[in-house]
Amino acid sequence: MITRVIIVEFRAGATESDIAEFKACLQDLAAHSAGVIRMTCGEHFDVDNDAVLSANAPQAVFGSFMSVWEFASEQALNDFLVLPNHRAMAATTFRKVVQQRYVANIR
């Protein structure tokens, strides 16, 4: 199994509607992609003690949104990355709201 973690920073001016559409697209993509075992996603929110963490490590908390994807195999992840509907969403819906993204793959 391969886990892919994506942290997103939204563009300034991204609306709640834009973010809801972004999340819905991710959920639909995951639901209709072979090899995806599970995906969870949502907006970042601060908890009371994040301030304690940030006092010692000011860059520790970042990003607006995160998605965690579990794939059956590395091949399943590679196949997912080149799906036509994934590429189309990345070029349109995602590009409209995403300023920056950070990606990590875990075995």
* pLDDT, mean over the chain: 92
Top-confidence residue, 104 or 53: 104
Q: To the nearest whole percent, how much of the chain has pLDDT over 90?
A: 80
Give the C-alpha distances (Å, rounded to integers) separating 66 from 42, 53, 55, 75, 88: 6, 19, 23, 23, 20
Q: How far is CA 78 from the centre of its chain?
A: 16
Is the pTM higher than 0.75? The answer reads yes
Domain limits, the chain: 2-106
**pLDDT for position 102:** 95
Question: Domain spanning 2-106 has what CATH number?
Answer: 3.30.70.100
Instruction: Give the pair of three-digit tokens for residue 12.
Output: 């300034």
Residue 54 in this model has a pLDDT that exceeds 80: no
Top-confidence residue, 91 or 49: 91
Which single residue is written with the structure tokens 């563009």? Answer: 11
Q: How far apart are the first and last CA of the chain?
A: 7
**pLDDT for position 87:** 95
